[in-house]
């Protein structure tokens, strides 16, 4: 489905979410627009439409390349490195 080399390297089974919302937003009293879950470690962060974009910050800080939407009914994954839906 894609050329992304990061998906085959993801841990199996998929990590459980560490939190139910973005902990960095909670800490500063901000509100996530939507949530994303890191598929390497289970970190939950807010999306790029949110004021602080903590999921992208998480990738920049850790190099964890692939996240999944953490929204009800959404299954898509995104690779930050390849800039692809994977």
Q: Note the residues at the interface with Zn ion (CB under 5 A).
A: 4, 6, 22, 24-25, 38, 40-41, 43, 46, 52, 54, 64, 79, 81-82
Nearer CB in complex with Zn ion: 46/70 = 46
Q: How far apart are CA 45 and CA 53, in angstroms?
A: 7
Task: State both tokens at 66.
Answer: 């692939």
Nearer CB in complex with Zn ion: 40/68 = 40
Nearer CB in complex with Zn ion: 40/70 = 40
Task: State both tokens at 47.
Answer: 């999306």
């Amino acid at each position: 489905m894609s050329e992304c080399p990061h998906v085959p390297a993801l841990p199996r089974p998929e990590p459980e979410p560490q939190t139910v919302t973005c902990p960095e937003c909670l800490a500063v009293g901000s509100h996530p627009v939507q949530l994303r879950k890191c598929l390497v470690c289970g970190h939950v962060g807010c999306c790029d439409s949110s004021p602080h974009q903590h999921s992208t910050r998480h990738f920049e800080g850790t190099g964890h390349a692939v996240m999944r939407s953490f929204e009800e009914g959404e299954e898509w994954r995104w690779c930050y490195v390849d800039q692809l839906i994977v």
